[in-house]
Amino acid sequence: MNIKIADRLVELRKKNGLSQEQLADKLGLSRQAVSKWERAEASPDTDNLICLAKLYGVSLDELLDTDQSIEEIAQDTRIHEEEKRKDSVNIDDTGIHLKSADGDEVHIKNDGSKFFSRGKDDDDDEKHYSHTTKVILAVASGLTVFATLIAYILLGVYLKEPNGWAYTWMLFMLIPVVPSLIEAIASKKFTKFCYPVLVAAVYCFVGMWFNLWHPFWFLFLTIPVYYIIFNPIDEAIHANDKKDEDTETTK
């Protein structure tokens, strides 16, 4: 974004007595998004520009007006693109913001709280999930907890001791399994699935209900085998993703 427009956004926000967090709340965005606008690292989309103009009581022309020539704007853009590829430190009214060339960010707020995020190569795919996927994960987690609790209570009441309360507690071990299965499907990574937890739950079940602690202990030997097999598969599946990112970067 043009640096003068970014400066104007800062000026208008402060003129209207808003902090970055307050403005972000009004727009339904994160504070980091607003901060990037005001550091000229990103540009508001059309809808956000319209919202900003209405919020500040100015026209879009006034909001975007600049006396710079096309050549100057293009030069500013090139400079900022080059700066984005370098380590940077920015200090504003919200705190200190550090960004490395590989995209890692550390934000230290004035109240002393810290926020850390990784760049493209971060193995944590959660931030890349769509809104729908995040909702599905949240709903699945909630329903799994609720269903597990109801099942435990019903089995505890209707099954005779010691098969009720004493044995069905292993159901709670399955709480992370269902969401992790959805997460594995969403991220296309087998290793996101909580396989060790599933193995432990199955072992407890066959051991307590059928007294087959031996030889079912061999189930735990499948855990390292699982990761030996699926780690390379995950790497192979996402190797093309890495190449696509590198290609986009060089364009």
Write the DSSP assignment of 43-109 as a string of letters.
Answer: ---HHHHHHHHHHHT--HHHHH-----HHHHHHHHHHHHHHHTS-EEEEETTEEEEE-TTS-EEEEE
**Both 209 and 242 in a single domain?**
yes
pLDDT > 70: what percent of the chain? 69
- pLDDT (average), residues 140-149: 90
The domain in which residue 106 lies consists of: 85-122
Most confident of the ranges 76-90, 116-130, 153-167, 185-199: 185-199
**Both 3 and 71 in a single domain?**
yes
Torsion, CA 244, CA 187, CA 131, CA 53, rounded to 10:
-30
pLDDT in tens, 36-53: 888 877 888 888 888 888
16: nearest Cα among 56, 51, 53: 56
Q: Which residues pair with 91 in a beta bridge?
A: 96
**Both 26 and 104 in a single domain?**
no
Domain count, the chain: 3
Query: Which residue did the predictor score with more confidence, 227 or 115?
Result: 227
Query: Which residue did the predictor score with more confidence, 22 or 251?
Result: 22
**What pLDDT score was predicted for residue 250?**
36
**What pLDDT score was predicted for residue 121?**
42
* pTM exceeding 0.85: no
Distance, in Å, from the CA atom of 78 to the CA atom of 66, rounded to the nearest integer, reads 18
**What pLDDT score was predicted for residue 225?**
95
Query: Which residue did the predictor score with more confidence, 86 or 58?
Result: 58
**Both 95 and 75 in a single domain?**
no
**Both 148 and 59 in a single domain?**
no
Distance, in Å, from the CA atom of 95 to the CA atom of 99, rounded to the nearest integer, reads 13
The number of residues in the chain equals 251
